[in-house]
Structure 1
Amino acid sequence: MTRQPPAGRDAYTAFRAMPTRWNDNDEYGHMNNATYLEIFDTAVSLWQMENGLVLRGPGATRMLVVESGIRYHAEAGFPDTLHAGLRVGHLGKSSVRFEIGLFRNDDRTACTEGFFTEVHTSPAGRPAPLPDALRRTFQTLVLPA
């Protein structure tokens, strides 16, 4: 099986700087695997909040992660600043797949790439169609054809 090479910064539409912390490193001196997923989640959540999604409280937009994945290309760790590139890889009826690339400091290719698939749900916890305004917001992260 041929391994897909890491994407460059031009493969993403929005970026957020995510500084690493001392405790992100593991026994081997690089970033712990679970920390990458935490950074993905934080980058997506901050982007959502900056774009008007209410994530907590009575008026919250209910988006639940139903699938995630990650591919490692190079090590990262403290004191790197990671730049989280974001894009939407798929926009469905009730779901969205956020794809995230982490770029170490000034590197031009991703050290890590991953995704979160989220489903919009009703207050009863069942999948619900994405409201038009939410769909338009997510559409801004879709790469031009």
Structure 2
Amino acid sequence: MRKDYRHWQRIPTRWHDNDVYGHVNNVVHYAFMDTVINTWLITEGGLDIHRGPAIGLCVESHCNYRSSVAFPEAVDAGLRIGHLGRSSVRYEIGFYPEGRDDVVAEGHFVHVFTDRSTRKPVAIPADLRAAMEGLVVA
């Protein structure tokens, strides 16, 4: 349900997102997940994707499809955090047609934060963790 998400971002669909069946192809939803998560990490969490010492690597992603959406519709992407560990975070994302309450798809995406150079797990940086705590749901 929309009320269960802490952050929202509207994502426009593009002409080439549609497949031969006339709806946004399933793989595009994974790009939408990347978009909403990384936009939030950069703008709200302060993550420096180019020079920061820690980076988030995707180790798991999943999506359940409920209905379809097609260009030129936009989707409202809701973001929350279902689990916040020492070095990992599980984001949960809900996609809704623009301004509607029927879910198109729901997914999750797990980042493990690592040292940029060694790729060994590290603690989520303190400032980023503090921002993430505002997205955590019980």
Structure 1 segments, 4+ long, off by >3 Å, are none
1:129 matched to 2:123: yes
Q: How does the TM-score come out when normalised to structure 2?
A: 0.93
Q: In 2, Cα distance between the equivalents of 1:73 and 1:60? A: 38
Q: In 2, Cα distance between the equivalents of 1:12 and 1:58? A: 30
Map 1:1-145; keep pairs closer than 5 Å. 8-51=1-44, 52-55=46-49, 57-59=50-52, 61-122=54-115, 123-143=117-137, 145=138
Q: How does the TM-score come out when normalised to structure 1?
A: 0.89
User: Where does structure 1 lack aligned partners over 5 or more consecutive residues?
Assistant: 1-7
Q: In 2, Cα distance between the equivalents of 1:111 and 1:133? A: 33
- Once the two structures are superposed, residues 81-131 of structure 1 have per-residue CA deviations (whole angstroms, 9 ceiling, x without a partner) of 100000001001110001100011221132100011000101200111112
Q: In 2, Cα distance between the equivalents of 1:41 and 1:131? A: 20
2:54 is paired with a residue of what secondary structure? coil
Does the 8 Å contact 1:53/1:60 carry over to 2?
no
**Superposition RMSD in Å:** 1.2
Q: How many residues align?
A: 136
1:100 is paired with a residue of what secondary structure? strand
1:110 is paired with a residue of what secondary structure? coil
Does the 8 Å contact 1:64/1:121 carry over to 2?
yes
Q: In 2, Cα distance between the equivalents of 1:131 and 1:47? A: 15
